[in-house]
Amino acid sequence: MSTHNACVGRAREAFLRVFGTRATHAASAPGRVNLIGEHTDYTGGYVLPVAINLRCAAVGRITYGSGPFRAHAADLNQTIEFDPRGTPDQLPRGHWGRYVAGVIAGFIGRGWDVPTIEVSVATDVPMGGGLSSSAALEVAVAQFVSGICGQEIDPREEALLCQRAEQAWAGVPCGVMDQMAAIMSREGHALLIDCRTMETQHVPMPSESDAALVVFNTNVKHALAAGEYARRRAACETATRALGVESLRDVTLETIDAASSALSDHERRCARHVVTENQRTVTAADALRSGDLAEFGRLMSQSHASLRDDMRVSCQELDTLVELASACEGVYGARMTGAGFGGCAIALIEPSKSASATETIAAGYRQRCGRDCSIIPARASAGACCVAV
């Protein structure tokens, strides 16, 4: 709750200053890391994310007037007016307001009579760092809208609404993992999601005395990220069609080999990553349940290799972090997390070795990449919430 309180506090202060009155409702939603199951959600595969102790807050009130919708970003000290019944191009591409407006537009599209509101947002999730800052913002706003309207929405419908907002208003063809994690996570647990059926299972995380989960932010974001993400998704879709199946879940490595003349090299590699990653994710969830951290760590490392060599979404900075981590005593496993091309890597470490391993990794990264990484000790945290204040 402390991270909820911190960002809600900032958002409330800014709300009072900018709008001259008190907010009546406060919502917050967490960022996430994905333990394993990368680039599989948009093909209906398995993912195993965990919500972390960094959150985004949305606070505000109904204005009961005829004025425009208004939103303020406390971290940027920026206020906008917008019309959620209008189109995305009322705001520049990449603008944070598109996520806010897109989510409200989603509720209106469902037939909700959303009153005119003023909202202030504040986030602890680093923007564009691969920890799902955008999903945390979308979900915080969705919880706020649902709270202020006094209406419930099914959590899966809410995740899909937020995903659609990101696709239609921000132009990112993302899967549904990040939004599901921000909504449905439970403290102390990872969330196994079957992205085909949207079924979920809460898998207990190791206690803090058994393992430390450490996030290393490369502090780089390569410009090609958005275009390359879309290219991976497109390759998976054409491979699925060429293989004549509904989902890459329905094929094996043998099927891919047998059909290799129907696939380009890029499609074959992407399909192979998805097939092997789905297997690894299911096995990893079992290893986590049975407390087999050595096996879990091995699967993390294999996942990274597959993302680097088959899916080809890693980069030099991520590979360096993973290589440095894998060479440290006490590290069970390490891998890139999220879409790739920069952003963050994670490592699962024996608690007594965590401080020295972290130091070695940070020093090696500085030496080899010529910049500092940021280190975030992660705790498996609860999903979104909204309260009247």
Least Cβ distance, residue 11 to ligand GLA (angstroms)? 23
Question: Partners of 387 in the beta sheet?
Answer: 26
- Pick between residue 127 and residue 262 the one whose CB is nearest to ligand GLA: 127
Least Cβ distance, residue 134 to ligand GLA (angstroms)? 8
Least Cβ distance, residue 269 to ligand GLA (angstroms)? 16
**Which positions lie near ligand GLA, rule CB under 6 A?**
34, 38-39, 41-42, 174-175, 177-178, 338-339
∠ Cα 188 337 316 (to 5°): 150
- Best CA proximity match to 194, nearest among 214, 173, 169, 176: 176
- Pick between residue 147 and residue 333 the one whose CB is nearest to ligand GLA: 333
- Pick between residue 97 and residue 338 the one whose CB is nearest to ligand GLA: 338
Strand order, beta sheet including 212-221: 331-337, 342-349, 212-221, 374-378
Which residue reads 């989603």 in tokens?
106
Could you give the residue numbers annotated as active site? 178
- Pick between residue 72 and residue 335 the one whose CB is nearest to ligand GLA: 335
C-alpha radius of gyration, the chain, whole number: 21
Q: Which two tokens stand for residue 262?
A: 């129907």
Least Cβ distance, residue 294 to ligand GLA (angstroms)? 24
**In angstroms, rounded to a whole number, what is the distance separating the alpha carbons of residues 348 and 355?**
12
- Packed helices 316-326 and 293-309: angle between N→C axes, nearest 10 degrees: 150
- Pick between residue 138 and residue 317 the one whose CB is nearest to ligand GLA: 138
Is there a contact between 97 and 82 (Cβ–Cβ < 8 Å)? yes
SS3 of residue 355 by DSSP: helix
